[in-house]
Amino acid sequence: MAVSVFCQPLEGMTVLGPPSLLVGQQGIYQALPQPLTASLPLTFSWSSGSVGPAATYSWPEAGSHTLTVTGTNICGGAWRAVYTVQVLEEWPHGSYLPLIVRRSG
């Protein structure tokens, strides 16, 4: 009797997280394997040195910054996803309160 073990390889990666942050603001980014049914265990390594399905990033200066995550599973092979984040000095829009005029007397 032969036993065969099904192994679903990792076929891609997606990164979810905020596309824009303020300087010094932290953002949490999550790696999603493609397909979601990829065989376990899955290993994720981030460009920040973090290991796991999520990583926190923050940048000290404005500009376009990239982060990368590499995912592997027991079926072999590795996938890399790159995500670009715009870091801003301040938000490009402001909040304005409504102006209320009262008539006196």
CATH fourth-level superfamily of 12-88: Immunoglobulins (2.60.40.10)
Distance of CA 33 to the CA centre of its chain: 12
Which amino acid is residue 88, in one-letter code? L
Helices (H), the chain: none
* pLDDT tops 90 at residue 105: no
Q: Distance between CA atoms of 21 and 46, rounded to whole angstroms?
A: 18
Give the rounded percent of residues in the chain with a pLDDT score beyond 70: 93
Lowest mean pLDDT among 8-17, 42-51, 84-93: 84-93
Q: Distance between CA atoms of 13 and 68, rounded to whole angstroms?
A: 10
Token pair of 30 as six digits: 């999550």
Write down the pLDDT at residue 85: 98
* Cis peptide upstream of residue 19 (ω within 30 degrees of 0): no
